[in-house]
Amino acid sequence: MGAYIIRRLLLMIPTVFGIMAVSFLITQFAPGGPVEQALANLSGQNTGALERVTGSEGGDFAGQQAQGSNSSYRGSQGLPPELVERIEKQFGFDKPPLERFFSMLGNYLRFDFGESYYRDISVIDLILEKMPVSISLGLWMTLIAYGVSIPLGIAKAVRDGSRFDVWTSTAIIIGYAVPGFLVAIVLVVFFAGGSFWQFFPLRGLTSPGWESFPWWQQVLDYFWHLALPIFAMGLGAFATATLLTKNSFLDEIGKQYVVTARAKGLTENQVLYGHVFRNAMMLIIAGFPGAFIGVFFGGSLLIETIFLLDGLGLLGYLSIVNRDYPVVFATLYIFSLMGLIIGLISDLTYMWVDPRLDFEGRDV
């Protein structure tokens, strides 16, 4: 087991390197980078942007625009070369791409992500500021989804073909078919002051003055703010895990070792949870990392937007739109590491559920 863990950890190095290299290469050819955006502002006579980029000498540069520029950047026509060079230096584009890439990797190994291009804050502080929203949505959504789906899937497998199985399947499929953002909009309209009632808050994870609340009121207020977002995200999240659990249990229940266990006089609960559960849960555990990562990193973007929750999903999207590359690469780096680590934890959980698995004999 120790050797397998070491191999997996070592394999993370080239994997992360490849992800970052491909992403960095794509940004080199993507139009509308930060330098081009700054130049476009200046070409449009945006004096406020000129002051922010060039400082007190902005007026001198503005007076030299007629000199022209030989830069290949779009929007640099009519701007002096000195100004273009200053903007390149400000965003770190005055160095060759390879030097910038390996310098970035060296900093990332120390978890030094630099400063945001457009916000007066370090990238790590910005990520930590948004992290509570994404952790809250991802953690509670995953726990609730699996906490409901697994018992429900087992009950459906035991009662396969019954009326309970039919109507729960119908409800699950309908919930899965309705988009989460549509459910979120309906909830806002009816229960968050949209057009009818104001039962739930619409902004943030806590109410003003939350720090002064008693601890029990803080807990209630926290879940009061999360109630609608979690419901909107979770309505369709139960379908996959529930049906996967049901089908996995049905497959195991039909095997010979279950017939033998029942012939020995074991109760149904002993058969289900003492023998079937361990084998049937392998597929469920296999899907856990993907479910968690999907909710934590990408699945909450629309929910964050509708319920005015400022989390990592919204931060990543806005950073891509604004070409805020330090934030884009930092979030990608962190997400990649967390995804690989969660995948390793998932494999280790396999062994905890089924000790018969031999990781030492695997190549990776």
- Residue 303 domain-assigned (yes or no): yes
pLDDT, tens only, 129-180:
888 888 888 888 888 888 888 889 888 988 888 999 999 989 888 888 888 7
Q: Do 147 and 241 touch, CB atoms closer than 8 A?
A: no
- Residue 297 domain-assigned (yes or no): yes
Q: How many CA atoms lie within 13 A of 324 on its CB side?
A: 22
Task: Please provide the average confidence, as pLDDT, over all residues in the chain.
Answer: 77
Q: Do 122 and 114 touch, CB atoms closer than 8 A?
A: yes
319 and 221, same structural domain? yes
State the total domains in the chain: 2
268 and 135, same structural domain? yes
Res 334 pLDDT > 60? yes
Tell me the pTM.
0.70
Domain that holds residue 333: 124-353
- Residue 5 domain-assigned (yes or no): no
Mean pLDDT to the nearest integer, 203-215: 86
Residue with more model confidence, 120 or 168 = 168
- Residue 292 domain-assigned (yes or no): yes
Mean pLDDT to the nearest integer, 187-196: 82
Residue 290 confidence (pLDDT): 64
Neighbours of 16 (CB within 10 A): 18
Distances 24 to 21, 80, 87, 318, 333 between C-alpha atoms, Å: 5, 28, 20, 18, 11
192 and 68, same structural domain? no
Give the rounded percent of residues in the chain with a pLDDT score beyond 90. Answer: 4
Res 248 pLDDT > 80? yes
Q: Which CATH number characterizes residue 219's domain?
A: 1.10.3720.10
283 and 171, same structural domain? yes
| Low-confidence winner among 4-8, 11-15, 160-164 (lowest mean pLDDT) | 4-8
- Residue 103 domain-assigned (yes or no): no
296 and 160, same structural domain? yes
| Low-confidence winner among 3-17, 39-53, 155-169, 311-325 (lowest mean pLDDT) | 39-53
Domain closes at, from 56, 79, 95: 95
pLDDT, tens only, 68-105:
444 555 555 555 667 667 766 766 677 788 888 888 88
- Residue 3 domain-assigned (yes or no): no
> In which band, very low, low, confident or very high, does the pLDDT at 62 lie, cut at 50, 70 and 90?
very low
- Residue 137 domain-assigned (yes or no): yes
Q: Return left, alpha or beta for 275; rule: phi > 0 is left, psi -120 to 50 is alpha, else beta.
A: alpha
311 and 197, same structural domain? yes
85 and 162, same structural domain? no
pLDDT, tens only, 280-320:
777 677 666 666 666 666 556 788 888 888 888 788 888 88
Structure tokens at 22: 């491909």
318 and 199, same structural domain? yes
Res 57 pLDDT > 50? no
Q: Return left, alpha or beta for 78; rule: phi > 0 is left, psi -120 to 50 is alpha, else beta.
A: left
CA-CA distance, 143 to 81, in Å (whole number)? 56
- Residue 273 domain-assigned (yes or no): yes
